[in-house]
Amino acid sequence: MVSVFISYSSNDQVKVERLAETLRQEKDITVWLDTTNIYPGDDFLEEMKEGIRVADKFIICLSPSFNEKPPVSWVKKELKMAILREGETGKGIIIPVRIKSGGKIPEEIGTKAYADLSTQNRWKRNLPRLIEAIRRPV
Which domains are present in the chain? Answer: 2-135 (3.40.50.10140)
In which residue ranges of the chain is pLDDT below 50? none
CA distance 111 to 113: 7
The model carries a pTM of 0.95
Handedness of CA 135, 26, 94, 45 (dihedral sign): negative
Helix, strand or coil, per DSSP, at residue 108:
helix
Task: Read off the pLDDT of residues 120-136 as tens digits, 9 standing for 90 and up.
Answer: 999 999 999 999 999 99
Torsion of CA 42, 39, 78, 3, to 10 degrees: 120
